[in-house]
Amino acid sequence: MTQHIREIVSVSGIENVSRRGILKGILSTTGLVLAVHVMPSGPALADDAPKWGAQGMPHGTVNNPLAFVSIAPDGTVTIVCHRSDMGQGVRTGMPLIVADEMEADWAKVKVAQAPGDEVKYGNQDTDGSRSTRHFFMPMRQVGAAARMMLEAAAAKRWGVDVSDVEAKNHEVIQKSTGKKLGYGELAADASTMGVPSNVSLEKTGAATPVSLPLKDPSQFRYIGKEGTNIVDGFNITTGRAIYGQDVRLPGTKYAVIARPPVMGGKVASYDATDAKKVPGIVQIVEMPTPSYPMKFQPSGGIAVIADNTWAAIQGRNALKIKWDDGPHGTYDSQAYRAEMEATARQPGMILRSDGDFAAAYASADKKIEAEYYIPHNAHATMEPPSATCRIVDGKAEVWTSVQSPQAAHDMVAAYLALPPENVTVNVTLLGGGFGRKSKPDFAAEAALCSKAMGGAPVKVVWTREDDIHNDFYHTVSVERLEAGLDKDGHVVAWRHNSVAPTIFALFMADPKHEAPLEQGMGLVDMPFDIKNVSIENGEAEAHTKIGWWRSVSNVPHGFAIQSFVAELAAAAGKDQKEFLLDLIGPARILDVPQKVKDFWDYGENPEVYPIDTGRLRNVVELVTEKAGWGKREVPKGHGLGLAVHRSFVSYVAAVIEAAVDEKGNITVPRVDICVDCGPIVNPDRVRSQFEGAVVMGLGVGLLNEISFKEGRVQQSNLDDYQVLRISEAPRETHVYIVPRGYDMPMGGVGEPGVPPVAPALMNAIFAASGKRIRSLPLGQQLASKA
């Protein structure tokens, strides 16, 4: 594996902690309990590498993350999952790795969810499509250690050499006699033993002698196999699963909050006289006004606490509030778009310069230019934010669905002025996350309301309107591209100026330029074989809260670039697939990291995760073959569109079939999408992630838009902020996974499926109708011209 994995992570130790009771209440403390310590190693996880920390800012992660596994006397194996599950299956995937390596019977495995505790569990931020790729080897290591300790315990009991025993399917078998002992029977004996020497995963040029043998991948029983049941599947499908909105504590009160409608706004004055008359109202609380930069603080406003949610909502409706809108009260989407377009047409800050774009463009035989627009988007998670807090004897306990439990923990501790050890954050299942639930403002709101009630449990409920009006939105952007073609239709000059407010506006005063991590998302890492390139970034001020949204800046960058490639192919009179492959050029490793200052490769080492155009070409060729590109005749009014994108160190290509009727109505009969994410753990979950990404990407292309007027969001619910309905989903979605061996590093899965979908759709619409769509969402653009 090994050279790649050695450069990513180092397991610094596996420890027998059976007698410490450090996970009392979560794991069995009467059997075997192992902890694996994971030490960042090499440039992939250097202290100065950009990583998202507890407050969402890059920093060096905790240097001693731990993962835990226990075996109880009854044979139950419990594995702690320290990341949050929002449907991507991490509560199944990571324990599955441990179970396979330790030869556990999956039917006897339970999963315990870790509370927010970065000291004990390390970085718990569930983002960046990185949980499995960062913890695949540590999870295998701890599973292998448990297996070997059980084998050693059996050998000792039988008085035989350990070479005569073998762990298999939750039992240890003596090879020479066929005698068997179950894992539960051996747990206590194993708990008294030392841990076998660990594999050294230090970055070296040659393999280090291994004293903790891992399985050969050919022996995997679960990893990479079909049909594994997800651990929460039964509870989810029978309504037993607990999400943040499901938490009910005895004596709970319920709160809703009237928040400032404009970022930076605050309460000027309010009259609660009528609100207090509503039956069931318990208390009305003025929330603290946030400081700026805002980070993930609650927005402020007036909280209404009641015996039930309905009463709280009616009380809020009865409030009379005068708002001071602050500096962003004039924010208007249409005017801001015009400002961005004007900026995009001027030279921007140079991020990458190859050759001489100006000279090559001036001498080109044909010049093509286009501007693409993508609006703000809301996350619109199926479960809006919610949190419940109770304070007893100076100790606060929170139940909530968060992607960043440590951020929630730290924020609650700060707002309540409590020592960190006096705060517990219990992580429920998430009914969708997409980046919204990395921001734990709603957990702090619950803590403040509980404090106002003398510590009584209070549940803060966000309605859908609250969710749409007070989100951390996906950035708006204008992407301007210019290209020069020679007489043979080859691209000889390429300029891309990206203009978008940055996520970092949350953390610093008016940064105006996209940060390196946003620039690295499909912009500066443009993978084409073009000699003269200028990649630029114009200034843009943020007027609302900008947050990461599934695949982040890859969405606007991918939409613009892959739409423009199709436009260039049409201008050159060439087939889009052949033009795209010619543009990508031969299989090679790109030297972009050497060309770009502060190059960001999703927090990874570019030497381990290089930009590999061979893999990019391969997904294009595979998906077009499967979709019948150039071979399958489509009906009149139908068209095929293609797009490809590398993000989160994975490679994804999509072919979409779109149908446009005489009234301009769109249907999507079929989508083919191909991913090369390296080796995989759970193919069912990989497929489901890409099926979901297709639906989300089609929503981006067809429906999603958040707009502002006088600083206020104009949409309120799913009737006017539309998401894709089942009636609009593709009739067929085919997901193809490029098979890869376990001798290469893993890529991301949760986010990379979204970026190629909208451009593939718009390219298909062009093929079907001859109409080019450059502004998202599609909305009524075709119908108005039909």
Rounded to an integer, what distance in angstroms lies between the CA atom of residue 258 and that of residue 393? Answer: 30
Rounded to an integer, what distance in angstroms lies between the CA atom of residue 119 and that of residue 406? Answer: 9
Angle at 571 between CA 568 and CA 576, to 5 degrees: 55
Whether the CB-CB separation of 443 and 398 falls below 8 Å is answered with yes
**For tokens 């306990």, what's the residue?**
397
Rounded to an integer, what distance in angstroms lies between the CA atom of residue 79 and that of residue 382? Answer: 28
Residue 36 pLDDT? 72
Contacts of 770 (CB under 8 A, 6+ apart): none
Beta bridge partners of 461: 386
Whether the CB-CB separation of 526 and 535 falls below 8 Å is answered with yes
Cis peptide before 260 (omega within 30 of 0): no
Q: Which residues of the chain have pLDDT under 70?
A: 1-13, 19, 22-23, 25, 27-30, 37-67, 197-211, 784-786
Q: What is the largest CA-CA distance in the chain?
A: 84
Distances (CA, A) of 566 to 217, 572, 694, 774: 41, 10, 20, 12
Cα-trace Rg, the chain: 27
Alpha carbons within 13 angstroms on the beta-carbon side of residue 94 total 28
Name which of 59, 24, 112, 90 is nearest 407 in CA terms: 59
Q: Count the residues in the chain.
A: 786
Rounded to an integer, what distance in angstroms lies between the CA atom of residue 254 and that of residue 291? Answer: 26
Beta bridge partners of 37: 13, 66
Residue 35 pLDDT? 80
Dihedral angle sign, alpha carbons of residues 639, 644, 645, 648: positive
Sheet holding 109-113, edge to edge: 9-16, 32-40, 66-71, 77-81, 109-113
Rounded to an integer, what distance in angstroms lies between the CA atom of residue 164 and that of residue 158? Answer: 10
Token output for 79: 């594995």
Residue 624 pLDDT? 98
Name which of 186, 211, 185 is nearest 198 in CA terms: 211
Whether the full predicted model's pTM is greater than 0.85, yes or no, is yes
DSSP E strand stretches across 393-540: 395-400, 423-427, 458-461, 477-485, 491-499, 533-538
Token output for 161: 């050499």
Whether the CB-CB separation of 198 and 14 falls below 8 Å is answered with yes
Rounded to an integer, what distance in angstroms lies between the CA atom of residue 261 and that of residue 771? Answer: 38
Please provide the DSSP assignment of 394-407 as one string.
TEEEEEE--S-HHH
Distances (CA, A) of 102 to 16, 39, 62, 222, 420: 15, 22, 27, 11, 35
Q: Chain-centre distance of CA 602, in angstroms?
A: 12
Name which of 739, 733, 737 is nearest 693 in CA terms: 733
Rounded to an integer, what distance in angstroms lies between the CA atom of residue 569 and that of residue 578? Answer: 9
b/e 410-434 (16+ beta carbons within 10 angstroms → b): bbbbebbebeeeebbbbbbbbbbbb
Contacts of 579 (CB under 8 A, 6+ apart): 489, 565, 568, 569, 572
Rounded to an integer, what distance in angstroms lies between the CA atom of residue 581 and that of residue 49? Answer: 33
Helix (H, G, I), strand (E, B) or coil at 719: coil
Beta bridge partners of 644: 653
The H or E element containing residue 449 is helix 441-452
Task: Name the packing angle between helices 554-572 and 757-769 (round to 10°).
Answer: 30
Residue 196 pLDDT? 81
Cβ atoms < 10 Å from Cβ of 504: 22
The dihedrals phi and psi of 276, each to the nearest 5 degrees, come to -70, -20
Cβ atoms < 10 Å from Cβ of 369: 14
Rounded to an integer, what distance in angstroms lies between the CA atom of residue 646 and that of residue 167? Answer: 41
Whether the CB-CB separation of 720 and 659 falls below 8 Å is answered with no
Angle at 341 between CA 660 and CA 654, to 5 degrees: 40
Distances (CA, A) of 363 to 116, 346, 492, 583: 59, 20, 9, 19
Dihedral angle sign, alpha carbons of residues 318, 322, 327, 330: positive
Beta bridge partners of 391: 396
Residue 211 pLDDT? 52
In the chain, the domains with their CATH numbers are 2-212+219-225 (3.30.365.10), 250-327+385-461 (3.30.365.10), 333-377+472-785 (3.30.365.10)
| Bridge pairing between strands 253-258 and 458-461 | parallel
